Amino acid sequence: MANRGRKNKATGPQPGTHQLTDVTAEIVRDLDTEAGWMLLLDGVPNSYLDLDDPTHLEFEYQQWMGRAVDVHAPEADVLSFVHIGGGACAFPRYVAATRPGARQLVAEYNPELIALIREVFGIRTGPGLRIRAGDGRDVLAGQHSASADVVVRDAFVGPVVPPHLTTTEFMTDVARVLRPTGLYLANVTDGPPLALARAEVATARRTFEHVALVSETPVLKGRRYGNLVLMASPSPLPTGDLARLLARSVAPTRVLEGPDLEKFTAGAVVTTDESPLVPPAPPPHLIR
């Protein structure tokens, strides 16, 4: 691993590149904000941290996830989270700051990346935040049934979601781990003709009674590449409250459900472990 970018106790994180097994990690300073830092993996933006403000979520899809959790469970509820995909733990940091007492388990495939974020960004683990090295699906399989309030899937290899984290068998295990009022959130990246997003929604609808999809209007209409957040639960989703919150967003953002979601998924394939949908290469200008 390169020495550039090692954390200096006097100056904090340092910009630099680190060659890890199977991936190149780059630490980049936000020139507009002294406390802002970006983690890129193989050149793709993966995590943004404001070291002075853990409640700051730079990526819009994470803001949507935060709002979804806010409206799904009262602030006073102490929730249990399983995060599949860790990166620099931007969303777990947000949860820890906004949900005191929350219990969180983060599954991150690359143990060298775990060591790096601990060293560079000072990510600390304890009773409220555990980070486990391993494939997210294997970590999920080791969790007790009805043990989590929220399962978040934000795992990527380069710019694409591993296909085995999108199938019916995977979502069935998510449903097993969730409590009856639990919430599943998944970060999906896709562009025209939105085959991946349609397949994920169709697959989720085979497993969960209540499903919704959040994204910017141009993405939902298939006009450009972008992020979509899949929401699913055994219990009704507070989509009305979420839509009202997202109406304040700078960019037009919609919550698809009911007949609109059924129309969105018309003709979409339901994926399984035997027939996963392999994602195509995204455009070179991709920004997650």
The predicted structure's pLDDT at residue 123: 94
Alpha-carbon gap, residue 14 to 27, rounded angstroms: 7
Q: For the chain, what are the domain ranges?
A: 54-265
Over residues 180-196, the pLDDT tens digits come to 999 999 999 999 999 99
CATH ID of 54-265, from 3.40.50.2300, 3.30.2350.10, 3.40.50.150, 1.20.1560.10: 3.40.50.150
Over residues 224-276, the pLDDT tens digits come to 999 999 999 999 999 999 999 999 888 889 999 999 999 999 999 999 999 99
Which CA distances in Å does 69 have to 63, 81, 144, 185, 284? 10, 11, 21, 9, 32
The predicted structure's pLDDT at residue 251: 85
**The tokens of 65 are what?**
């996830």
Q: In the structure, what pLDDT confidence band is assigned to residue 9 with cuts at 50, 70 and 90?
A: very low
Q: In the structure, what pLDDT confidence band is assigned to residue 284 with cuts at 50, 70 and 90?
A: low
Q: In the chain, what is the straight-line distance between the N-terminal and C-terminal CA atoms, in Å?
A: 25
Q: Looking up tokens 């777990």, which residue turns up?
A: 92
The whole-model pTM stands at 0.94
C-beta of residue 31 within 8 angstroms of C-beta of residue 55: no
